[in-house]
């Protein structure tokens, strides 16, 4: 079977770009065949009504350009923190927002949302991990027919973040009632910053994940270089080939047949906050050749 490399980026979704139409057209312009978007501003709870998002035209544009809607994804809002066992209202807000997000995505026709598991904010870490599972269970109990799956993102360990190690992710997954609905999204920068040696030993890291969690649970990849040395626990994304992970490793991930048919999403920073890097980065990765397109100061590769 001829399997496909699915490579895209995080794209905008706003009124100026006619909402989802703009998301699709931006991805196509970048040479992408998958994409990821927020359904609203990630730091607040305000959401535009789905009937204004141009869903039917969005779906038509995707189909006309051979982009499978079943292979694109949404990023959940940062305001969701199911790991917070200290403030009940924060946990309850997270449950409500996650439920609303799943309802919105079902209407849009997108079946996967990547979720930051949250932070313990001083609470017991094990209780926080169990709280993540509890919140997800509550959402699916209230939405028993939802087709939208959740991929928990691997985190860097900044502050009191949870799901930093594969063992922590395993604990959450073991306590999910509808196990078929919850998987994992690798973030290469986060894993590197968490201490996993993906630059020199990526195959070993994958083997460890498979042993602890299972490769069948890997549903998405965020492909980012890192501004920090391994184990820094900082979470600072860098453009492809300019960070401590380097182009060679990131390119090998894209072309590894294990990850074919898994959406791979770039979340690298815009150059000087003004120039979108994704078209050039996608081109480089597909062609397996690094080019110094952005003339950034340091290349660690």
**All residues at 6 or more sequence positions from 262 whose CB lies less than 8 Å from its CB, including other chains:** 6, 218, 219, 220, 221
The model carries a pTM of 0.97
153: annotated binding-site residue?
A: yes
Is residue 192 annotated as involved in ligand binding? no
The pair of three-digit structure tokens given for residue 24, joined into one six-digit string: 């699709």
* Residue 252 is labelled as binding a ligand: no
Q: Which of 188, 183, 155, 153 is nearest to 285 (CA)?
A: 188
Are 181 and 147 spatial neighbours (Cβ–Cβ below 8 Å)? Answer: no
26 assigned ligand-binding residue: no
Question: d(Cα 231, Cα 197) in Å, to the nearest integer?
Answer: 9
Write down the pLDDT at residue 297.
73
Class of domain 7-287: alpha beta
Determine if residue 222 is labeled as part of a ligand binding site: yes
- Give pLDDT tens digits along the chain (301 positions): 356 999 999 999 999 999 999 999 999 999 999 999 999 988 888 899 999 999 999 999 999 999 999 999 999 999 999 999 999 999 999 999 999 999 999 999 999 999 999 999 999 999 999 999 999 999 999 999 999 999 999 999 999 999 999 999 999 999 999 999 999 999 999 999 999 999 999 999 999 999 999 999 999 999 999 999 999 999 999 999 999 999 999 999 999 999 999 999 999 999 999 999 999 999 999 999 999 999 887 666 5
DSSP 8-56: EEE----TTTTTHHHHHHHHHHTT-SEEEE-SS-TTS-----GGGS-HH
Sequence ranges of the domains in the chain: 7-287
Q: What's the pLDDT score for residue 171? A: 98
Q: Write out the DSSP string of 47-104.
A: ---GGGS-HHHHHHHHHHTT--GGG-EEE--TT--TT--S-HHHHHHHHHHHHHHHHH
pLDDT digits (tens, 9 = 90+) for 75-121: 999 999 999 999 999 999 999 999 999 999 999 999 999 999 999 99
Task: Identify the CA nearest to 293 among candidates 241, 237, 255.
Answer: 241
Q: Which residue has the tokens 């453009």?
A: 239
Whether residue 116 is annotated as binding a ligand: the answer is: yes
What's the burial of 281, exposed, middle or buried (CB within 10 Å: 0-12/13-18/19+)? buried
DSSP string for 218-253: EEEEEE-EESS-TT-----EE-TTSSSS-HHHHHHH
267 is in an annotated binding site: yes
Through-space distance between the first and last CA atoms of the chain, rounded to whole angstroms: 34
> So what's the pLDDT on residue 216?
98
Beta strands at 73-75 and 112-115: parallel, antiparallel or unpaired: parallel
What gap in Å lies between CA 182 and CA 176, rounded to an integer? Answer: 8
Would you say 233 is a known binding-site residue? no
């Amino acid at each position: 079977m001829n399997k496909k490399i699915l490579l895209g980026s995080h794209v905008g979704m706003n009124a100026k770009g006619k909402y989802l139409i703009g998301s699709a057209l931006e991805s196509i312009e970048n040479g992408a065949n998958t994409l990821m978007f927020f359904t609203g501003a990630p730091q607040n709870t305000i959401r535009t009504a789905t009937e204004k998002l141009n869903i039917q035209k969005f779906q038509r544009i995707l189909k006309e350009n051979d982009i499978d809607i079943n292979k694109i994804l949404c990023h959940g809002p940062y305001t969701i923190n199911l790991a917070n066992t200290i403030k009940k209202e924060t946990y309850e807000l997270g449950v409500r927002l996650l439920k609303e997000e799943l309802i919105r995505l079902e209407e849009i026709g997108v079946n996967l949302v990547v979720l930051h598991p949250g932070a313990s904010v001083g609470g017991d870490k094990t209780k926080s991990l169990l709280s993540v599972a509890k919140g997800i269970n509550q959402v699916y109990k209230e939405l028993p027919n939802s087709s939208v799956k959740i991929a928990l993102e691997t985190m860097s360990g900044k502050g009191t973040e949870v799901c930093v190690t594969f063992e922590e992710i395993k604990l959450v997954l073991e306590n999910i009632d509808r196990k078929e609905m919850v998987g994992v999204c690798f973030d290469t920068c986060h894993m590197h910053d968490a201490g996993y040696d993906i630059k020199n030993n990526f195959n070993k890291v994958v083997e460890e994940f498979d042993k602890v969690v299972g490769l069948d649970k890997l549903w998405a990849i965020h492909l980012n270089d890192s501004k920090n040395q391994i184990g820094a626990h900082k979470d600072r994304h860098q453009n492809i080939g300019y960070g401590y992970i380097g182009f060679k490793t990131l390119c090998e991930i894209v072309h590894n047949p294990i990850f074919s048919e898994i959406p791979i999403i770039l979340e690298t920073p815009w150059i000087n906050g003004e120039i979108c890097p994704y078209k050039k980065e996608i081109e480089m990765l597909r062609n397996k050749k690094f080019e110094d397109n952005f003339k950034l100061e340091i290349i660690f590769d």
